[in-house]
Structure 1
Amino acid sequence: MQLLVNIDVDDLARATDFYCAAFALRTGRRFGTGGVELLGGTAPLYLLVKPAGSPAFPGATQVRDYARHWTPVHFDIVVDDVDAAVGRAVAAGATLEQAARSANWGRIALLADPFGNGFCLLQFLGRGYDEIATPA
């Protein structure tokens, strides 16, 4: 299985600048004016231009809204230094929603990108998630 991450945005240049600056990604392929592939993570990230107010899917009554929104799916980015990563992300345009806090497995900070999508920055410590894992 290969994982691809797609993020809808309404401003491709702004989104490309943000994700490259915040996470040290680099531009791969471009898909005309409709999208760009960003490389440098463990999975490619695809930024797809979708206008605000456009239907979320064919026949949908819900439309895209790039204000901060909640969704049960988000992405976590594992970093070596959560404080430094928060600094880079905020400097690039992210909003810090919860400062880094510690847990048994490491540290976590909650943020949102400029398009309203939430994400977490994780720094594993010790054995990472194995610190809290139980046998299957």
Structure 2
Amino acid sequence: MDIRICIDVPDLERAIGFYTAGLGLRAGRRLGSDWAELLGGGSVIDLLTNAPGTAPLGEAHPQRREYARHWTPVHLDFVVDDVDAVVQRLVSLGAKLEKPIQERRWGRMANLADPFGHGLDLLQFRGRGYDELLQPST
């Protein structure tokens, strides 16, 4: 099974620039004027243009798209080699660092919001990565 990650954005060109320049992803196919693929991660990321205030589930549903910072229990983690450099680059492209970079047993983590209000985390593993949380290696 493949997983495709879809991110709604109000400005497709700005989103392409943010994710390619900021995270090193590369632009793939354009699937119309309002849809672009980003490649270079473990899964394809589809950027989909949808205007603020539009109904994602149809007009009868009360929810509307909003691109101010919003919290959702789903977010993306990007594994990077140098969390400090990537945070600096993303912030220069419009991201907001929401919490100082944290030191963890498994490495370092930064919590950010992209320019469209979506949460994302940067992870920089050290040692055995998440396996540092398990029994010590022998």
Q: Mark yes or no: TM-score above 0.5.
A: yes
Q: For residue 22 of structure 1, report the CA deviation from its aligned partner.
A: 0.6
- The separation in 2 between residues aligned to 1:52 and 1:67, in whole angstroms, is 10
Q: Deviations over 1:47-93 (max 9, x none)?
A: 00111000121232010000000000001000011111111111121
CA RMSD of aligned residues (A): 1.1
Matches within 5 A, 1:112-127: 112-127=113-128
Question: Identical aligned pairs, as a percentage?
Answer: 54
The answer to whether 1:18 aligns with 2:18 is: yes
Which whole-Å CA distance do the structure 2 matches of 1:60 and 1:11 have between them?
24
Q: CA deviation at 1:99?
A: 1.7
2:75 corresponding residue in structure 1 = 74
- Residue deviations 1:16-43 (CA, integer Å, cap 9, x gap): 1111111111111001211100111111
Aligned to 2:37: 37
The DSSP-based 3-state class of the residue aligned with 1:126 is: coil
Secondary structure, counterpart of 2:91 in structure 1: helix
Structure 1 Cα separation of the partners of residues 116 and 49 of structure 2: 11
Aligned to 1:110: 111
The amino acid across from 1:38 in the alignment is L
Q: By how many angstroms is 1:101 displaced?
A: 1.0
1:48-87 equivalences under 5 Å are 48-58=48-58, 59-87=60-88
Which residue identity is paired with 1:42? G
TM-score by length of 2: 0.93
- Partner residue, 2:134: 133
List gaps (5 residues or longer) in structure 2.
none
Partner residue, 1:91: 92
Q: Which amino acid aligns with 1:47?
A: L
SS at match of 1:84: helix
- For 1:103 and 1:60, how far apart are their aligned partners in 2? 41
Divergent runs of 4+, >4 A: none
Match of 1:7 in 2: 7
Q: Which amino acid aligns with 1:121?
A: L
Give secondary structure in 2 for the equivalent of 1:18: helix
State the distance in 1 between where 2:103 and 2:61 align.
40
